[in-house]
Homo-oligomer: A and B are copies of this chain.
Amino acid sequence: MIRTAVLGAGRIGQVHASAVAASRLAQLVVVVDPFEEAAKSLAERIGCEAATDPLEVIARDDIDAVIIGTPTDTHVHLMLKAVEAGKAVLCEKPVDLDIAKVDEALRQLEDKDVPVMLAFNRRFDPSAAAMRQAIDAGEIGDVHQVVITSRDPGMPPEGYVQASGGIFRDMTIHDFDMARWLLGEEPTEVLATASRLVSPDLVEKYDDYDTVMVVMRTASGKQCHINNSRKAVYGYDQRMEVFGSNGMLLNDNLRPSTLRRYNQDQTEVHDPLLNFFLERYDDAFRAELEAFFGAVGSGKPVPVTPYDGRQALHLANCALESVRTGKVVKV
């Protein structure tokens, strides 16, 4: 049993804490949050210790692994401290919003022999995983085009927009990771366009956008399109398509039931989509943790690394540059 601490008792920390508690591979020892009430409330609900100082917890001998779900600007610091202490780390994305800081962190991790995994949860969604397996099995031959649709159910609050680093670094970053993973090759060119259609005043205030389209190309000519919107009234829209020389793979959104309704005006009416990422990727969060604990336990490499986080961030920066310069950006 891998003795685990969860740093951060916010939304994502709660998800991880519950998943650790339910895992057969790990034991949840302590949840940590500088806001004592939050730590205690979560600890009580799940049945573990509460603490307020992450560095103290990282230093504890009875902790094998640390899950970092704290604010973005603390990720690098905590990750490096945990690695120094020899703890396995699962860190929420992004590593940092500043790519120089990320590169410096990567440099410091280089000679460390401790598993550090980055939490790109979508790779662990059962449908995404099945898609990747089908590609690996050669079902569609060579990948030629990837199309990723990723739309949030609604604008985040202003404070979130202000701190997010912009739509490319906050939202599209997940899709950049998916793109790299599904293409099986690094994109070498990025083109992007961006608009303000959902909340023009709000996003303009922070020099941000709410509606974007990206096209990328790899050295061998594979192509990927990503489209994002901050507001899909019909729910959290998460679809992917991989087109290859011998076929195509598609996935679909999830709904709470399979019920279909027929009436005088409409047929095949399905439920609305599962609304947002906590519900939609519930299975993925659990599978992600199992993958992390499985790698830690077996000594095999973790499936997603901080370098993957670095590359996704870099693509986000390239996309933004393409929007600003009106040019293809070489990655």
Contact = CB atoms under 8 A, between A and B. Distances in A.
A109 interface: no
Interface in A242-280: 243, 245-273
Interface string A221-232: 111010101011
Nearest to A271: B267
A260 B127 CA distance: 9
A259 B197 contact: no
A247 B222 CA distance: 31
A261 B233 contact: no
A234 interface: yes
A328 interface: yes
Interface in A290-307: none
Interface stretch (A5-13, A57-65, A144-152, A168-176): A144-152
Nearest to A22: B22
A223 B193 contact: yes
B222 A193 contact: no
Interface string A185-227: 0000101110111100000000000011111110001110101
Contact of A223 (B195, B243, B252): B195
A262 B234 contact: yes
A47 to B, nearest CB: 11
A39 interface: no
Contacts of A163: none
A86 interface: no
Contact of A250 (B198, B262, B271): B262
A89 to B, nearest CB: 27
Closest 10 CB pairs of A and B: A195-B221, A326-B328, A247-B263, A234-B262, A268-B270, A248-B262, A252-B258, A127-B257, A130-B257, A191-B191
23 contacts: A126-B256, A130-B256, A139-B263, A144-B197, A144-B229, A145-B229, A147-B225, A151-B243, A191-B192, A191-B215, A196-B221, A213-B215, A225-B225, A234-B247, A234-B266, A247-B261, A247-B263, A250-B259, A250-B262, A251-B257, A266-B269, A266-B271, A267-B273
